[in-house]
């Protein structure tokens, strides 16, 4: 590939090749052996340059893989040749209108920066996927990322009113904007949200916010196993309040992070449930008390932190669970299956049984209220066949999730690692529509090839 044309668009110093691309061709699937290759990584400065890069690639038949913060768990930004379009230089806040609860930000701003900007003005941007200091808002849109507080507030898409996106063959298009309701056309905004860079490249996002809740008060309860824990999840949902978050860890996950937990963990705990009530101080306190009352009966212990520093420590600890699981034996293959909430205990127990059949240690944790489970197979460093066994185990896990009425992916997407799974889950007619949408947007198949295929 002759890259002079790309250098003419973005400048020579922003076309990286060879060793300079190191660290820009992978994501979190690296620890399970997923590796990418590309002829160049380009770093456009703005939306106009993204459009020009796509037009150049289209003309030369070169594949493009959009890259955000590289924190994905599905290999979505891992290129299979062609050019990586890294969005890291698109970091402007184009407009911020706190009194109208909204902002337009460029795709490369980190999730953390968006949340911080909102908070500084007394506002709240709820989506909080766990790698927010590194993940980009564009990557969050492309994966429709969730996080602990998606239970009450919804996933990223619930907070996006408009997109600026580069579509093949290199056109900059606006879909939606600051308007909060818009049913004039088919919902193209939702179609692009979660499309994992296979339909277009997001260059800017119009977000809505809400006034920040005054207080957030968690209740953490420990149970003997996932069966009593699963019952407690349903009890918390019947508490009469909408918990802001309902997170869980199974016995093995608790074991991995027990030492770092900011409070005491009972020695026989086999399941932890973290619920949170938010709102003005009085309602958060009432909510915490209601959660306590319903979660306590079968619990081995309950903690009710109230100091902001304690609450912050709890969520920092929760954010570290995934990385601690990866470090436990040297690597992990972590899936993100989703099931109806009342099937939570079955998928947790099923993950453990599948792991045992493939001689793999497991742990499960995640978003209990959403039935979204990070079912994790631990990979021991030096175990030459662990990755292969984890792949086989994952196929059984996906089948179980579907059998339980669930999904193969609750929040990470199909990316490259779950390709082809959708056709086990969806009706053939729906799969055909899925394929047709891809062809309509990207008739030459140049946008993130090999990803999110049904």
Ligand X SMILES: Cc1cc2nc3c(=O)[nH]c(=O)nc-3n(C[C@H](O)[C@H](O)[C@H](O)COP(=O)(O)OP(=O)(O)OC[C@H]3O[C@@H](n4cnc5c(N)ncnc54)[C@H](O)[C@@H]3O)c2cc1C
User: CA nearest 162: which of 187, 195, 132, 145?
Assistant: 187
Q: How far is the CB of 266 from ligand X (least distance, A)?
A: 26
Q: How far is residue 152's CA from residue 38's CA, in Å, rounded to a whole number? A: 40
| Residue 326 interacts with ligand X (CB under 6 A): yes or no | no
| Residue 318 interacts with ligand X (CB under 6 A): yes or no | no
Q: How far is the CB of 398 from ligand X (least distance, A)?
A: 18
What are the C-alpha distances in Å from 230 to residues 59, 270, 325, 413, 436? 54, 11, 22, 25, 39
Q: How far is the CB of 25 from ligand X (least distance, A)?
A: 11
| Residue 406 interacts with ligand X (CB under 6 A): yes or no | no
Q: How far is residue 90's CA from residue 107's CA, in Å, rounded to a whole number? A: 6
User: CA nearest 246: which of 148, 162, 132?
Assistant: 148
| Residue 301 interacts with ligand X (CB under 6 A): yes or no | no
**Strand 362-367 versus strand 201-208 pairing type:** unpaired
Q: Applying CB under 6 A, what is the total number of residues that bind ligand X?
A: 39
| Residue 51 interacts with ligand X (CB under 6 A): yes or no | no
Nearer to ligand X by C-beta: 138 or 229?
138
| Residue 196 interacts with ligand X (CB under 6 A): yes or no | yes
Six-digit token string for 195: 């499309």
The residue sitting closest to ligand X, measured at its beta carbon, is: 139
For ligand X, which stretch binds (CB under 6 A), given 194-202, 236-244, 344-352, 423-431?
Answer: 194-202
| Residue 323 interacts with ligand X (CB under 6 A): yes or no | yes
Nearer to ligand X by C-beta: 146 or 294?
146
Q: How far is the CB of 431 from ligand X (least distance, A)?
A: 20
For ligand X, which stretch binds (CB under 6 A), given 143-151, 276-284, 289-297, 421-429?
Answer: 143-151
Nearer to ligand X by C-beta: 426 or 441?
441
Token pair 């074991």 in the structure block, residue: 255
Binding to ligand X (CB under 6 A) within 122-141 occurs at 129-131, 135-136, 138-140
The answer to whether 33 and 75 have CB atoms below 8 angstroms apart is no
Could you count the other beta carbons within 10 Å of the beta carbon of residue 147?
23
| Residue 449 interacts with ligand X (CB under 6 A): yes or no | no
Interface pick for ligand X out of 36, 146, 287, 449 (rule CB under 6 A):
146
Q: How far is residue 104's CA from residue 92's CA, in Å, rounded to a whole number? A: 9
Interface pick for ligand X out of 163, 202, 207, 390 (rule CB under 6 A):
202
Nearer to ligand X by C-beta: 228 or 409?
409
For ligand X, which stretch binds (CB under 6 A), given 178-186, 197-205, 340-348, 400-408?
Answer: 197-205
Interface pick for ligand X out of 337, 448, 449, 454 (rule CB under 6 A):
448
x/- track of binding to ligand X for residues 420-439 (CB under 6 A): --------------------
Q: How far is the CB of 143 from ligand X (least distance, A)?
A: 4
Binding to ligand X (CB under 6 A) within 229-258 occurs at none
The answer to whether 63 and 125 have CB atoms below 8 angstroms apart is no
| Residue 28 interacts with ligand X (CB under 6 A): yes or no | yes
19 Ramachandran zone, left/alpha/beta (phi>0; psi -120 to 50) = alpha
Q: Is 357 helix (H, G, I), strand (E, B) or coil?
A: helix
| Residue 88 interacts with ligand X (CB under 6 A): yes or no | no
Binding to ligand X (CB under 6 A) within 89-128 occurs at 107
Q: How far is residue 153's CA from residue 412's CA, in Å, rounded to a whole number? A: 18
Size of the chain, expressed as the number of residues it contains = 454
Q: Is 109 helix (H, G, I), strand (E, B) or coil?
A: coil
Interface pick for ligand X out of 276, 335, 411, 442 (rule CB under 6 A):
411
Q: How far is residue 161's CA from residue 35's CA, in Å, rounded to a whole number? A: 35
Strands (E), 169-317: 171-176, 201-208, 210-211, 215-223, 245-250, 271-279, 301-303
Binding to ligand X (CB under 6 A) within 64-83 occurs at 65-73, 76-77
Interface pick for ligand X out of 9, 41, 52, 142 (rule CB under 6 A):
142
CA 382 to chain centroid: 29
Q: How far is residue 348's CA from residue 346's CA, in Å, rounded to a whole number? A: 5
Q: How far is residue 286's CA from residue 405's CA, in Å, rounded to a whole number? A: 34
Six-digit token string for 300: 């081995």
Interacting residue ranges for ligand X, rule: CB under 6 A: 27-28, 65-73, 76-77, 87, 107, 129-131, 135-136, 138-140, 142-143, 145-147, 196-197, 201-202, 322-323, 411-412, 415, 448, 451
């Amino acid at each position: 590939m002759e890259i002079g044309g790309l250098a003419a668009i973005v400048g020579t110093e922003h076309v990286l090749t060879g060793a300079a691309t190191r660290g820009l061709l992978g994501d979190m699937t690296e620890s399970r052996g997923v590796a990418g290759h590309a002829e160049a990584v380009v770093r456009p400065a703005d939306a106009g340059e993204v459009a020009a890069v796509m037009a150049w690639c289209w003309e030369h038949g070169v594949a493009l893989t959009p890259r955000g913060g590289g924190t994905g768990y599905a290999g979505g930004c891992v290129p299979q040749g062609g050019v990586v379009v890294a969005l890291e230089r698109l970091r402007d806040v184009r407009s911020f209108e706190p009194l109208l609860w909204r902002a337009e930000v460029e795709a490369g701003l980190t999730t953390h920066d968006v949340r911080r900007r909102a908070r500084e003005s007394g506002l709240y941007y709820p989506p909080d996927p766990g790698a927010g200091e590194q993940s980009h808002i564009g990557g969050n849109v492309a994966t429709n990322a969730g996080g602990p507080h998606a239970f009450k507030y919804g996933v990223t898409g619930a907070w996006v009113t408009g997109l600026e996106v580069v579509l093949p063959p290199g056109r900059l298009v606006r879909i939606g904007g600051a308007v909060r309701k818009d049913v004039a056309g088919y919902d193209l905004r939702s179609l692009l949200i979660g499309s994992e860079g296979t339909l277009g490249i997001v260059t800017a996002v119009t977000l809505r916010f809400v006034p920040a809740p005054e207080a957030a008060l968690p209740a953490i309860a420990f149970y003997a196993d996932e069966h009593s824990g699963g019952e407690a999840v349903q009890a918390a949902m019947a508490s009469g309040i909408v918990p802001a978050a309902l997170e869980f860890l199974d016995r093995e996950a608790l074991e991995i992070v027990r030492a770092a937990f900011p409070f005491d963990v009972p020695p026989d705990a086999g399941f932890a449930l973290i619920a949170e009530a938010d709102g003005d101080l009085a309602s958060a306190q009432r909510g915490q008390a209601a959660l306590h009352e319903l979660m306590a009966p079968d619990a081995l212990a309950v903690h009710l932190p109230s100091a902001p520093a304690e609450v912050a420590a709890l969520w920092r600890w929760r954010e570290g669970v995934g990385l601690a699981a990866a470090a436990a034996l040297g690597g992990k293959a972590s899936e993100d299956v989703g099931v109806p909430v009342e099937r939570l205990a079955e998928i947790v127990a099923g993950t453990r049984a599948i792991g045992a059949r493939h001689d793999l240690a497991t742990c499960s944790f995640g978003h209990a209220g959403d039935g979204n489970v990070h079912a994790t197979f631990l990979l021991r460093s030096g175990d030459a066949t662990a990755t292969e066994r984890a792949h086989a185990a994952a196929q059984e896990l996906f089948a179980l999730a579907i059998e339980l009425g669930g999904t193969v992916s609750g929040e990470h997407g199909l990316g490259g690692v779950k390709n082809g799974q959708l056709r086990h889950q969806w009706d053939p007619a729906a799969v055909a529509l899925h394929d047709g949408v891809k062809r309509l947007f990207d008739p030459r198949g140049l946008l993130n090839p090999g990803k999110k295929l049904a």
